[in-house]
């Protein structure tokens, strides 16, 4: 089953925010808390707090980023 084309922007923001929040929360957890027996729990806690911010942020910022990229490319 495919998602209708009209939801491309929303799906892009959803997937991008999931991946970026997941990766960045893991990196920042490792840097600031360390990798120990509680790493996964701390990471998931960070992800759960980061993703609700990342999703709407990408929805808002993506159009601006597309314009910037379009102005920098031929």
Are 29 and 42 spatial neighbours (Cβ–Cβ below 8 Å)?
Answer: yes
Q: Is the residue at 6 inside a domain?
A: no
Q: Is the residue at 2 inside a domain?
A: no
What are the tens digits of pLDDT across the range 28-70? 999 999 999 999 999 999 999 999 999 999 999 999 999 999 9
Q: How many domains does the structure of the chain reveal?
A: 1
Q: How many angstroms separate the first and last alpha carbons of the chain?
A: 35
Residue 1 pLDDT: 87
25 has a pLDDT exceeding 90: yes
DSSP 25-61: HHHHHHHHT-SSTTHHHHHHHHHHHHHHHHHHHHHHH
Q: Is the residue at 1 inside a domain?
A: no
- DSSP letter assigned to residue 5: G
Residue 29 pLDDT: 97
């Amino acid at each position: 089953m495919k998602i209708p084309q009209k939801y491309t922007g929303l799906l892009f923001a959803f997937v991008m925010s999931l991946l970026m929040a997941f990766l960045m929360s893991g990196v920042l957890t490792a840097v600031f808390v360390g990798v120990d027996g509680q790493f996964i729990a701390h990471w998931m806690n960070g992800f759960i707090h980061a993703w609700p911010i990342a999703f709407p942020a990408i929805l808002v910022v993506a159009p601006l980023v597309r314009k910037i990229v379009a102005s920098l490319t031929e």
